[in-house]
Amino acid sequence: MSVITLNNENFEQEVLQSRTPVIIDFWASWCGPCRMMAPVIDEIGESMGASIKVGKVNVDENQDLAEKYEVMSIPTFVIIKDGKETARTIGVQPKEEILKLI
Amino acid sequence: MYDVVVIGGGPAGITASIYAKRRKLSVLVISKKETSLFKAEKIENYYGFPQGISGEELYNNGIKQAENLSIDIVEDEVVALSSNEFNEKNFENKADEKIFEIETVNSHYQAKAVILATGSNRLLPNIKGIQEFEGKGISYCAICDAFFYKGKDVAVLGSGNYAIHEMQELKPIVNSVTILTNGDKIVENRDVDISKDEKVQVIEKKVKEFRGDSKIQEVEFEDETKKDIQGVFVAIATASSNDLARKIGARIEHGHIVTDENMETTVKGLFACGDCTGGLLQISKAVYEGTLAGLAVLR
């Protein structure tokens, strides 16, 4: 499944009501570490098929979502299952470490 | 612009510069003349010195050797490392050629590749809360995280030029910056006069603890006075290889920079060698890794 761009309009449906677990990548274009993680996140989105959903939140454009999830450092990756946060991790890391959280 | 800028003038950095120079690359070494070698009074386990050699002498010999090979060397301190990949335009359309920008206290340089060899990073000061609140108010990257502290009162933990640099990154965004030197004297920086700046305060008292519920809310000093703060940016001493690598997006595991077999980090064109990659903290290992990096850079 390709990576979804998340915002206020689609967050409820794509994340909170999702039947599959969702990885949210909170990022910004001016953040070097986020930039380095972009291909890793894309790869997770492509390789995991329909078993998981991958969404990106650009914190510049969606400050309220970043605030709601108390993101204070980017990149932050949050795992949501059945509408609830089950895990999160911060910073550059290999794909496997993120997949472990699911 | 240089082909390669090497940050650090110890065994790893100088060796890398020598091998890179031999490959006809233009090389600059930026060294702060601060190395763990100075702590070694006599080194007796390194090849070729039957009477042993002091760490300081070995260091000075290395610098001299590089100078003899016409390698440029400057004594300066790197405070920031970035690349043109990060500016917004290039984020969508990949830049044709990657260029690293190296900002120092006195100048700035450009290079096609960078080799980090500043030695191992210092241990974090033993302040309660510093690990507990990582990502919940404790940050190691002003440029990444300043955004989340818009209009808030934050602190920078540190007393050197690196701390001053981080303060300057934060100042336009936050409400106020307090520099917590944790008992040290603040560095004298001839370009930045903090005393006249209303947004900036320096506290030279020892820090006891960072406190809060889910996020940092206050700092307590050893004299039991307190101050409200909503974020702390750690910038102790000199920016280490780890600090520089982390900000540019290289992967760090268990406090060490991750590299491949050629000493290239997870960021293309950025290499790391010597103590900052972990493993044996030995000159022989630093020299070996410097060799690998010098041979592989821009290959």
Nearest residue, CB atoms, A30 vs list B83, B86, B231: B86
| Mean pLDDT computed over B63-70 | 97
A35·B249 Cβ contact <8 A:
yes
How does pLDDT run across A8-63, given as a tens digit for each residue?
999 999 999 999 999 999 999 888 899 889 999 999 988 887 889 999 999 999 99
| Residue B269 in contact with partner chain A when CB distance is under 8 A | no
Instruction: Measure Cα distances from B216 to A9, A43, B143, B236 in Å.
Output: 31, 34, 19, 19
Kindly report the pTM of this predicted structure: 0.87
| Mean pLDDT computed over A68-87 | 94
Distance CA A43, CA B237 (A): 38
Instruction: Report the residue of A5, A26, A34, A36 to disrupt the B interface, i.e. the one with the largest count of B CBs within 10 Å.
Output: A36
| Residue A9 in contact with partner chain B when CB distance is under 8 A | no
Report the mean per-residue pLDDT for chain B: 92
| Residue A7 in contact with partner chain B when CB distance is under 8 A | no
| Mean pLDDT computed over B6-12 | 97
ipTM: 0.79
B145·A72 Cβ contact <8 A:
yes
Residues of B in contact with A90 (CB under 8 A): 134-135
Instruction: Say yes or no to pLDDT of B237 above 90.
Output: no
Nearest residue, CB atoms, B248 vs list A28, A32, A73: A32
Is the separation of the CB atoms in B118 and B238 below 8 Å?
Answer: yes
Residues of B in contact with A31 (CB under 8 A): 86, 143-144
Is the separation of the CB atoms in B178 and B188 below 8 Å?
Answer: no
Q: Which residue of A has its CA nearest to B267?
A: A36
Distance CA B240, CA B79 (A): 9
Among B202, B177, B5, which residue's Cα sits nearest to residue B107? B5
Is the separation of the CB atoms in B117 and B13 below 8 Å?
Answer: yes
Is the separation of the CB atoms in B56 and B34 below 8 Å?
Answer: no
Min Cα–Cα distance to chain A from B141, Å: 8
Nearest residue, CB atoms, B135 vs list A36, A66, A72: A72
Distance CA B104, CA B85 (A): 20
Min Cα–Cα distance to chain A from B244, Å: 11
Side-chain half-sphere CA neighbours of A54 within 13 A: 21
How does pLDDT run across B260-299, given as a tens digit for each residue?
999 999 999 999 999 999 999 999 999 999 999 999 999 9
Helix, strand, coil percentages (3-state) for chain B, rounded to 5, are: 30, 25, 45
What does B189-212 look like in DSSP terms, one character per residue? -TT--GGG-TTEEEE-SPEEEEEE
Residues 6+ apart with CB under 8 A from B169: B142, B143, B146
Q: What pLDDT, on a 0 to 100 scale, did the predictor assign at position B89?
A: 47
Distance CA B219, CA B155 (A): 9
Confidence band, pLDDT 50/70/90 cuts, at residue A102? confident
| Mean pLDDT computed over B83-89 | 66
Write B199-207 long-range contacts (CB < 8 A, 24+).
Answer: B199/B171, B199/B174, B199/B175, B200/B167, B200/B171, B200/B176, B201/B176, B201/B177, B202/B178, B203/B178, B203/B179, B203/B227, B204/B159, B206/B182, B207/B125, B207/B127, B207/B157, B207/B180, B207/B182, B207/B183
Is the separation of the CB atoms in A5 and A55 below 8 Å?
Answer: yes
Q: What pLDDT, on a 0 to 100 scale, did the predictor assign at position A1?
A: 64
* A36 CB neighbour count, 10 Å cutoff: 21
What pairing do the DSSP bridges indicate for beta strands A76-81 and A22-27?
antiparallel
Q: What are B86's two structure tokens?
A: 């990060």
Instruction: Measure Cα distances from A76 to A31, A89, B246 in Å.
Output: 11, 6, 14
Q: Which residue of A has its CA nearest to B254?
A: A93
Q: Which residue of B has its CA nearest to A73?
A: B145
What are the residues facing B191 on neighbouring strands? none
Residue A83 annotated in active site: no
Q: What pLDDT, on a 0 to 100 scale, did the predictor assign at position B152?
A: 95
Which one of the listed residues A31, A38, A90, A99 is annotated catalytic? A31
| Mean pLDDT computed over B130-159 | 92
| Residue B256 in contact with partner chain A when CB distance is under 8 A | no
Min Cα–Cα distance to chain A from B47, Å: 38
Sequence letter at residue B272:
A
B141·A60 Cβ contact <8 A:
no
Residues of A in contact with B248 (CB under 8 A): 32-33, 36
Q: Which residue of A has its CA nearest to B94?
A: A35
Sign of the torsion angle spanned by Cα atoms B183, B188, B14, B28:
positive
Residues of B in contact with A35 (CB under 8 A): 85-86, 91, 249
Residue A36 annotated in active site: no
Instruction: Say yes or no to pLDDT of B95 above 60.
Output: no
Residue that wins the pLDDT comparison between B151 and B188: B151
